[in-house]
Structure 1
């Protein structure tokens, strides 16, 4: 059995070189992350503006009063047919 020493126990591995595919993947991930963050910020801003506008619209409009319902009268021709 070999003797355990610092060099045999802890073998240093060389860092793997970044392939062009890895570079592309990293770049795409960064771009998509930035776009997602921008989209989230924009959505939050638009949602806040919409909610404020709806709150102002509801506060400004008076509550409608109930209108008396007007029953439609049947035309004389239809009334004559049923009699």
Structure 2
């Protein structure tokens, strides 16, 4: 059992190389996240402007 445990620990710690698909997926996720953040900022700005405009129209 002790030999088996040592073998599992040593082999489990070896980092695996990242495949091309994994690199591409990581890049796509980063791009999509950045676009989502930009879209949320733009939406918040437009919502604020619209609410201010509607408020001015009521006065």
TM-score, length basis structure 1: 0.60
- The structure in which a higher percent of residues are helix is 2
Q: Aligned residues, how many?
A: 57
For structure 1, the 5+ residue unaligned runs are: 60-83
CA RMSD of aligned residues (A): 1.8
For structure 2, the 5+ residue unaligned runs are: none
Trace 1:1-83 onto structure 2 (pairs within 5 A): 2=1, 4=2, 7-8=6-7, 10-13=9-12, 14-59=14-59
Query: 1:21 & 1:9 partners in 2: Cα distance?
Result: 27
Larger radius of gyration: 1
